[in-house]
Amino acid sequence: GGGDMWPLLQALSLAPPSALSRLPAATPRYLRAPGVRLSLDASALSAVGEVEDAAPAPDLRLVAPAKVNLFLRVVGKRPDGFHELASLFQTVSLFDDLDFWTSPREEGAPLASLEVTPDSLGAELIPTDESNLVVRALSLYAERVPSSPAIHCRLHKRIPAQGGLGGGSSDAATALHAANRLAGLPVSQETLIEWAGELGSDCGFFLSAGTAYCTGRGELVDPRRPLPPTACYLIKPAAGLSTPSVFKALGLEPGEAGPAGADPADLLSRFEAGDVYNPDLYVNDLEPPAFELMPELRQMCDDLRKFGFQAVMMSGSGTTCFAIGMPLEEVQETWVDELQAKYDVEVFEEMFCRRIADEPSLWYTEQPPGAVLTNIEEPERGLFPL
């Protein structure tokens, strides 16, 4: 019956048309990097239009989503100097593209290699050695799963760096998922989340279905049922703030409790009850110190509220802010221009996105065979199994 379908329809809801149009094209050209051998079967080659001079299609193409923190409570500062957090993380439909090619392991050849597309955002600043989390993720997987192949990754970056959007962590989690898939899924999701936690405190989150309650430094991931599809505009100022400077301005001493305020468990239960448009639930303890360091952020959030968005908040340690829902009808065509006339910002029109829960072989935006998207404007109402 219809009731049985609802979890599937919810889980399958995808990004808005604007985001879908940015998904990678199906037939890339690939310039082989020196020393990288690529395996390729005939079926993959036949999918490429110009077979004579076409380079091999990737063995796997995936997207890596950005994230926002829908609430972030600082519970306290631990004796070891780290801050104890309680936060609801949510993936959004701003994606990096990652292409993966496998080859047999060879003596003296790298098990993991990376290239960055020349038109990536900030391409010249992205390292391609072991300091890149993608290379570290692929190397870690290769060390722990000796039967896995060597992997070359090509990264196309769209998620701005230093904005609290988790792009680097997302790329690393996507690389771990890809390595596991290309090896035949020998490693459990739970183990992958643990390995991801070794790479960075946000990495494990992206191996959830897109919504998770994260505690500790953010590395303790409690995957939750995905939230309903919700419009989420990202506003990324050109100016950044370093995460340590924001925590320092918060001013907690080791062993000291965080700011008084709403119980994170209560905020979580209210979000899960579907109250995503309630501005009272959007609490970020790092906003006051960030606003102190950069007063124009507070002014910008106030301006966004005047445009009529249901909830407005800074994400994580900033400086990216997000606006939930839709602006007032009379400013729909003008608010971005007005905002950009006043502040040096990029604006991304996105939605909450998710993976299909309980399908470890599927990644963000991927659907099981037989699911047909019939109504792109209302994805949650437009999916019917064949």
CA distance 109 to 294: 47
- Characterize 333-363 residue by residue with b for buried, 16 or more Cβ atoms within 10 angstroms of its Cβ, and e for exposed: eebbeebeeebebebbebbbbbbbbeebebb
Q: Which of 59, 96, 97, 202 is catalytic?
A: 202
- State how far the Cα of 63 lies from the Cα of 48, in Å rounded to an integer: 20
Handedness of CA 99, 104, 106, 111 (dihedral sign): positive
Cβ atoms < 10 Å from Cβ of 48: 18
Residue 358 annotated among the catalytic residues of the structure: no
Catalytic residue among 67, 77, 157, 236: 67
Residue 171 falls in the annotated catalytic set: no
Max Cα separation, the chain? 66
Are 356 and 362 in contact, with CB atoms under 8 Å apart? yes
Give helix 133-144 / helix 167-182 axis angle, nearest 10°.
Answer: 30
Residues linked to residue 220 through DSSP beta bridges, in sequence order: 215
- Locate 121 and state its tokens: 């955002």
Which active-site residues does the annotation give? 67, 202
